[in-house]
Amino acid sequence: MFHYDNGLKLTAIDLAIDVRRRQPRAFVSHAHSDHTAPHELAFCTPATARMYQHRHGPRRTREMPFGQPLEWGRVRLTTYPAGHVYGSAMLLAETEGQSLLYTGDFKLSPSATAEPALLPRADVMVMECTFGDERYRLPPREQVIEELLNLVRAVLADGDTPVIYAYVLGKAQEVTRILTDAGIPVQQHALAHEISLLYEECGCPLGDFSLYKGRPRKGHAVVMPPRSQKSASVPLPRNSVTIAVTGWAADPRARYSLGVDYAIPLSDHADYDELLQAVEQVRPKVVYCTHGPASFVDDLQEAGYDARQLGRATALRLFR
């Protein structure tokens, strides 16, 4: 049913899945740049279609709302919420009594902006395993949010400006919603602000946010792209305190490598325990792991699963 050719493809219908080079037809799980390309035709959820077109221009899309099957020859395709960013989707492919679930980037714990993840049963599971290392058992979400809010309030009380580094699609909107729900207004870098307007147009309100025009407003937090995104850099406000929000902050050294004053472990990816939980829920016969450490494959094998690393060495055609 699938094969690996420098990227995952459903063989019977020649459908690429999150492939980063232009394809005649491709499923796009969400609009982060490491999962997209300017395809001739992209299959995705309605919200992802808006963000995909924002990034790649007015390209053709076939919208796949959650839970509404699309029949394609002998294959049935159904999207399920992935819990990663707003509109992000898993893809379930079924044919002749057998099934494959592609998770894409996902998270099982709640999100302020993404739809709650829903995991269907499947015979084969291809899963994203970014935090497939025991070091990345993240603190409870409530604790992380409390840490973020307490820090932002303390910075504001000192008369300084909290500058929060967050990816412009997904994390920036979630942080904004967390802060505005707590009564803290937010100014956003232009790149994040463009996406936030799309979120609201698609039905995901973010509260009291506005465009950052180079001057911080009193009592406001400022949301910026990560420091690594050099092309989006703008001068920081005076007396700013920098905060990174990322699952990598589970490593105590993260704030030094990220070059920030504080690092908060707020993630939009499943942590180590959630990865194990996902496999337990899906109960696949075979698990293929991608975007994570090879050691996680060993961990799954020790737990009794038929787990393999996705790639040329483990490429497999199923259900031909």
What pLDDT score was predicted for residue 276? 98
What pLDDT score was predicted for residue 34? 87
Ordered by start, the domain boundaries in the chain are 2-135+269-314, 141-264
* 147 confidence band (pLDDT: 50, 70, 90): very high
* 315 confidence band (pLDDT: 50, 70, 90): very low
Nearest to 138 by CA among 31, 250, 283: 250
Euclidean distance between CA atoms 105 and 128, whole angstroms: 6
What pLDDT score was predicted for residue 282? 98
What pLDDT score was predicted for residue 33? 87
- The CATH-assigned architecture of domain 141-264 is 3-Layer(aba) Sandwich (3.40)
Within this chain, domains 2-135+269-314 and 141-264 share the same CATH topology: no
- Model confidence at 320: pLDDT above 60: no
What pLDDT score was predicted for residue 317? 41
Which CATH number does 2-135+269-314 carry? Answer: 3.60.15.10
Report whether 45 contacts 79 (CB < 8 A).
Answer: yes
Q: What is the mean pLDDT of residues 69-74?
A: 94
Token pair in block for residue 98? 């057998």
- Model confidence at 186: pLDDT above 90: yes
Euclidean distance between CA atoms 44 and 313, whole angstroms: 29
Q: What is the mean pLDDT of residues 114-142?
A: 97
Q: What is the mean pLDDT of residues 291-308?
A: 95
Strand order in the sheet with 240-245: 209-211, 186-188, 221-224, 161-165, 240-245, 262-264
The sign of the dihedral angle between the CA atoms of 237, 239, 244, 245 is: negative
- Model confidence at 319: pLDDT above 70: no
* 232 confidence band (pLDDT: 50, 70, 90): low
The sign of the dihedral angle between the CA atoms of 163, 168, 171, 173 is: positive
Percent of the chain at pLDDT > 90 equals 88
